[in-house]
A and B are shown apart, each in its own frame.
Chain A
Amino acid sequence: AQSVTQLGSHVSVSEGALVLLRCNYSSSVPPYLFWYVQYPNQGLQLLLKYTSAATLVKGINGFEAEFKKSETSFHLTKPSAHMSDAAEYFCAVSGTRNQFYFGTGTSLTVIP
């Protein structure tokens, strides 16, 4: 079975600082991993995905995530936070049979 755990339901960073949102997964099969972003009053948008190719995945808006099998992690990072990055971020894992599991989300606040 697959599952994801997002550490930290709320993260605050200063504008220009590093963004690090943590996601650990559990999977009995090679996973496909995803990060979604939800801006206020909007739907969910795919930020990036890992599908067993390169372990460092680059997404939109300067975000990237690194798949680390030894740590069962897929943390999301951005070198320099922007005010427009304030949103809810969801990590998700997909395994066999297309089943899809979301984490509980991390709310990112960017402090000017």
Chain B
Amino acid sequence: GAGVSQSPSNKVTEKGKDVELRCDPISGHTALYWYRQRLGQGLEFLIYFQGNSAPDKSGLPSDRFSAERTGESVSTLTIQRTQQEDSAVYLCASSVDGKGGYTFGSGTRLTVV
């Protein structure tokens, strides 16, 4: 597509439930990032995919968080047993080579109640 597409745009879930967030990057973009942005705060790195290399998972805050990406296509971020502190906007960004910068999706606003 023309841009990075994220779905859903908003998600309200009950504490303890699992959620799955989707990111559809720009076609041909080999690099993909997930970030978390809590209200009024900066970007918190979660995970980085580059082509078929092993992902950099060093930013995942706990083992409740996981992400997958098949090849250079869609990525899903899964949060198990959600907690209230997981409430944030989850942003996905992709790039063809990093030199031109990353294109961000509009994010998924997750609210855990």
Which A residues are within 8 Å of any B CB, using their own CB?
A: 32, 34, 36, 42-46, 49, 51, 90, 92, 94-95, 97-100, 102-105
Within 8 A of A (CB), among B35-92: 35, 42-43, 45, 48, 50, 56, 91
Given A99-B48, A100-B33, CB of A44 within 8 Å of CB of B104: yes
B95 neighbours in A (Cβ, 8 Å): 94, 98, 100
Q: Top 8 closest A-B pairs, CB basis?
A: A98-B98, A94-B98, A98-B31, A105-B42, A44-B104, A104-B42, A43-B106, A34-B101
A49 neighbours in B (Cβ, 8 Å): 100-101
A-B contact pairs, 10 of them (CB 8 A): A46-B102, A51-B99, A92-B102, A94-B99, A98-B30, A98-B97, A99-B50, A100-B102, A102-B43, A102-B45
B101 neighbours in A (Cβ, 8 Å): 32, 34, 36, 46, 49, 92, 94
Interface: B25 (CB within 8 A) = no
B56 neighbours in A (Cβ, 8 Å): 99
Which B residues are within 8 Å of any A CB, using their own CB?
A: 30-31, 33, 35, 42-43, 45, 48, 50, 56, 91, 93, 95, 97-107
A42 neighbours in B (Cβ, 8 Å): 106
Taking CB as reference atom, which chain A residue is nearest B96? Answer: A98
The distance in angstroms between the C-alpha atoms of A103 and B102, with both chains bound, is 14
By the criterion CB–CB under 8 Å, are A100 and B100 in contact? no
The distance in angstroms between the C-alpha atoms of A80 and B107, with both chains bound, is 31
Taking CB as reference atom, which chain B residue is nearest A6? Answer: B42
The distance in angstroms between the C-alpha atoms of A42 and B109, with both chains bound, is 11
| Distance of A35 from chain B, by nearest CB (Å) | 9
By the criterion CB–CB under 8 Å, are B42 and A32 in contact? no
By the criterion CB–CB under 8 Å, are A51 and B100 in contact? yes
Which one of B33, B48, B97, B99 has the greatest number of beta carbons of chain A within 10 Å? B99
B98 neighbours in A (Cβ, 8 Å): 32, 94-95, 97-100
| Distance of A43 from chain B, by nearest CB (Å) | 4
By the criterion CB–CB under 8 Å, are B91 and A90 in contact? no
The distance in angstroms between the C-alpha atoms of A62 and B98, with both chains bound, is 24
By the criterion CB–CB under 8 Å, are A46 and B99 in contact? no
